[in-house]
């Protein structure tokens, strides 16, 4: 049965999976959501006997129903190949009383690789299916990791161009170096004088500008997105939660049907939403533990039912979570509002206008599976040091936020359900913050001296992604004001 996608802001706007992937964002700024989430058609025990690619096929075929088996398998096999530096694409490592799902073994050493390795194949396949002849312009805002993963995925892909905006002083030095050294004639990277929310707002504004989109079409271009607002990003993220669960079944830790908890360091809400959709499919998840840093807008939301972005924006050591407008939360709001596009649009209009909205008590009851908390900068650093000393395991700052919040959850509830923590980035991506947490004396060293010291302490090989940027020349040095983003897009496209 074909699954239809609807806009969260207009129930009359529908799309097939491939068209939703192509468009990225629905009209009026809405997001595409499935009209229902289909149940697994193979058992959890059967999934436990499959490798990552087979699990991916058996999850994604249910969500991307207008792709043929050959098309989908081609996308999966092209994405999940030897670009990952471990035999298991997403290893599950037991440390410090939890199971760390290492999602950073791809080419840019962050979890975004899991979805952005496959998105170019899904997108180009979608274009062919829908007879699209325009050049596709991937327009993306990044808080640090999406940018490089998208650039790496789309670099020199025929029929595409990619433009990435990032907050000039809001990412780690390694993250910035990864982006500004990106090769590819179809790539363009711009630092903006502002924060991630400014970049994301600017990108969304361009997407929803009908006049601009008509002009682009005249010139032979059309926008699409590599952010998690694109369901082509979200669906592949569902896979690794299913995979993690089935590894626990395969090794006898749990039996098929037993519940697990999932902890996700959360910024734009896409990663944890993918776990939520996996539960709708039939994955036995007990609690979604939503971990925030000091930009704790989501913690406050889950505590009170009020979402309020009117607050100070804090730059932290976990910059990929330095976000006050969590775009993907809209998909959850739509669902707990009873799939009511009118109600959802009313709340999103309030967010863009007054900067806040409050959900009803009935909607709040629908969030019983979620637990929210946050980690301060000091707590994040203390967790890195503690787990290094207890388990000789070094985690990045975002994973440490998740681990800190998990400890708070267990302390509050006593819940000992087996728990998977999404480990979203390699510590090599945030060497200064990570090494300073272990010993403040490390702050005297240069970024690449810290890389070598981290290698010595952890025994983990320096990833190729880091070696590649040690001496790579800067290829992108454009910086602009936040109200100049459209001008930079037009300049790059030559229109």
Q: Which residues are catalytic?
A: 112
Supply 261's token pair.
């908890």
Q: Are 30 and 347 in contact (CB under 8 A)?
A: no
Which helix (H) or strand (E) segment is 363 a member of?
Answer: helix 361-365
Burial (CB count within 10 angstroms: exposed 0-12, middle 13-18, buried 19+), residue 308: middle
Please list, in sequence order, all residues whose beta carbon lies within 8 angstroms of the beta carbon of residue 218, skipping any fewer than 6 positions away.
none
Secondary structure tally for the chain: helices H, strands E: 22, 16
- Integer Cα distance of 252 and 94 in angstroms: 14
Which helix (H) or strand (E) segment is 70 a member of?
Answer: helix 69-79
The DSSP bridge partners found for residue 426 are none
Please list, in sequence order, all residues whose beta carbon lies within 8 angstroms of the beta carbon of residue 290, skipping any fewer than 6 positions away.
264, 266, 272, 298, 299, 302, 370, 371, 372, 373, 405
**Helix (H/G/I), strand (E/B), else coil: 416:** coil
CB atoms within 10 A of CB 490: 14
Q: Are 199 and 482 in contact (CB under 8 A)?
A: yes
């Amino acid at each position: 049965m074909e699954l239809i996608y609807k806009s969260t802001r207009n129930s009359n706007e529908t799309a097939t999976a491939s068209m939703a992937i192509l468009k990225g964002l629905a009209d009026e700024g809405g997001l595409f959501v499935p009209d229902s989430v289909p149940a697994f058609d193979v058992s959890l025990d059967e999934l436990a006997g499959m490798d990552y690619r087979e699990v991916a096929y058996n999850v994604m075929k249910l969500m991307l129903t207008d792709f043929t088996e050959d098309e989908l398998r081609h996308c999966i096999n092209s994405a999940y190949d030897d670009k990952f530096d471990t035999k298991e694409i997403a290893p599950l490592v037991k440390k410090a009383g939890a199971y760390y799902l290492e999602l950073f073994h791809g080419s840019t050493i962050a979890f975004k690789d899991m979805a952005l390795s496959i998105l170019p194949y899904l997108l180009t396949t979608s274009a062919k299916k829908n007879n699209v002849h325009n050049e596709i312009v991937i327009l993306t805002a990044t808080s640090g990791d999406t940018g490089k993963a998208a650039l790496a995925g789309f670099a020199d892909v025929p029929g595409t161009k990619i433009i990435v905006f990032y907050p000039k002083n809001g990412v780690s030095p390694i993250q910035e170096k990864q982006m500004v050294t990106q090769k590819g004639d179809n790539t363009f990277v711009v630092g903006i004088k502002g924060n991630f929310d400014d970049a994301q707002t600017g990108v969304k504004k361009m997407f929803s500008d009908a006049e601009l989109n008509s002009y682009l079409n005249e010139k032979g271009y059309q926008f699409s997105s590599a952010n998690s607002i694109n369901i082509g990003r979200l669906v592949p993220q569902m896979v690794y939660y299913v995979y993690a669960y089935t590894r626990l079944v395969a090794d006898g830790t749990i039996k098929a049907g037993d519940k697990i908890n999932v902890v996700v360091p959360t910024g734009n809400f896409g990663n944890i939403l993918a776990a939520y959709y996996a539960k709708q499919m039939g994955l036995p998840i007990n609690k979604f533990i939503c971990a925030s840093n000091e930009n704790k807008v989501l913690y406050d939301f889950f505590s009170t039912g009020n979402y309020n972005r009117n607050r100070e924006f804090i730059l932290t050591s976990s910059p990929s979570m330095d976000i006050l407008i969590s775009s993907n939360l809209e998909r959850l709001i739509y669902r707990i509002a009873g799939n009511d596009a009118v109600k959802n649009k009313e709340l999103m209009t309030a967010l863009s206008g007054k900067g806040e909205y409050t959900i009803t008590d009935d909607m709040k009851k629908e969030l019983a599976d979620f637990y929210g908390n946050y980690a301060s900068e000091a707590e994040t650093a203390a967790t890195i040091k503690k787990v290094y000393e207890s388990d000789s395991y070094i985690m990045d700052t975002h994973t440490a936020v998740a681990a800190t919040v998990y400890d708070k959850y267990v302390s509050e509830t006593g819940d000992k359900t087996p728990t998977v923590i999404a480990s979203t980035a390699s510590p090599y991506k945030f060497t200064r913050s990570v090494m300073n947490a272990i010993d403040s004396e490390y702050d005297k060293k240069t970024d690449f001296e810290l890389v070598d010291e981290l290698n010595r302490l952890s025994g983990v090989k320096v990833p190729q992604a880091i070696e590649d940027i040690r001496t790579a020349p800067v290829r992108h040095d454009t910086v602009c004001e936040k109200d100049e983003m459209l001008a930079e897009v037009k300049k790059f496209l030559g229109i």
